[in-house]
Structure 1
Amino acid sequence: MSNINIRVAHEQDAEELHSIMQIAFTPLRELGIDWPSVHADLEMVKDNLRQNTTFVLENEKEIISTITVCYSWSSVKPISGYPFVWWFATRPTYDGQGYGSQLLKYVEETFLRDTLKAAAVTLGTSARLHPWLLNIYEKRGYEIYAKHENDDGDLGVIMRKILIPEQFNDAILGRPPF
């Protein structure tokens, strides 16, 4: 993992990010998962970049992995008072090499915990259509705190990871608006 850089994405990264999302989320589309990230067009990617903080992990030639941090003020009905991460994708040619884990760890620890002083982070995933992701997040310290049955028969779960235990507040975590 030499010559790796992590930075905040800019609007000029939109086309490359869109390409990564299209390639990385093909298996989820094939499973019938209907999330915004799975069906994102270029304008949705640009909106995501404008409204949130998107990080990229890159080498000297291309973006390898990306993840976005959303804030409670970005939505009329936020998932939580704590930041929510989504649009997490890695180029399939780099799968299994630890780049996604490296980026997620950076966002959790360096940005959310150490810079923003966020006591927790949340995310959403599928518990039925791709339960392997649920297991990966649980191994990284995430816990399910809300579940909802989707119209498509999937079980959506919202997970939390406490980053600063002595500052964590259940009232700030809140309940998702579903």
Structure 2
Amino acid sequence: MSNLNIRVATEADVKELYHIMHEAFTPLRELGIDWPSVNADEDMVRNNMKTTTMFVLEDEEQIISTISVRYPWEDRPSVATYPFVWWFATRPEFEGRGLGSKLLKYVEETFLRDTLKVPAVVLGTSGRLHPWLLDIYKRRGYQVFKEHENDDGDLGILMYKELIPEAFDSQYLKRP
């Protein structure tokens, strides 16, 4: 599996990305998590692709992992004035091999930090329904900046990671 490639998703990827999202998020659906990515259909995948930068990590045969970057200048409300990563999924048969981490690292460092010169990135996770993700993100350098009770009783946690520390300003973690 040495021939891995990271690229921006295209319309031709919609069906495969839907399949990956459905498989990867089945355990979260079973926990009752009601996020757009967890319950996405093909039209939602297509719309996400049109409104974000959706990356894929693939080998010669298939897409293995995907993640999307939302931007604070979009029409829809954002949680911070830094980009937000979401819709992060890896095919279950590839979990535990570090491939999703490789894609996230590319997005954080190569795309956001080195290309766009973004000082920080933001993400959201669940604090009660799958708390193991909180520890994973903390080990990757993310820090909690906001917690809120969701309508479903879950604890929503917003986290950020400094990408360019000398340019980071915590005031931009809050939307005006």
Question: Shorter-normalised TM-score: what interval?
Answer: over 0.9
Q: How does 1:4-83 map to 2 (within 5 A)?
A: 4-83=4-83
- How many residue pairs were aligned? 176
Matched, 1:128 2:133: no
Match of 1:162 in 2: 162
Structure 1 residue 71: Cα displacement = 0.1
Quick one: percent identity of the two aligned structures?
Answer: 65
- Unaligned ranges ≥5, structure 2: none
1:123 CA displacement: 0.2
Match of 2:172 in 1: 172
- The Cα shift of 1:173 comes to 2.1
User: Displacement of 1:75 after TM fit?
Assistant: 3.6
Q: Which consecutive residues of structure 1, in runs of 5 or more, have no partner in the other structure?
A: none
Contact 1:11-1:50 at 8 Å conserved across structures:
no
Q: C-alpha distance in 2, partners of 1:41/1:98?
A: 26
Q: Deviations over 1:67-90 (max 9, x none)?
A: 000001224321111000000000
User: TM-score by structure 1 length?
Assistant: 0.96
| CA distance in structure 2 between the partners assigned to 1:127 and 1:146 by the alignment | 11
Equivalent residue, structure 2, for 1:141: 141
Across the aligned residues of Structure 1 and Structure 2, the Cα RMSD in angstroms comes to 1.1
* TM-superposed deviation, 1:138: 0.4
The Cα of 1:53 is off from its aligned counterpart by 0.1
1:127 Cα deviation (Å)?
0.5
Q: CA deviation at 1:171?
A: 2.4
Q: Distance in 2 between matches of 1:86 and 1:107?
A: 11
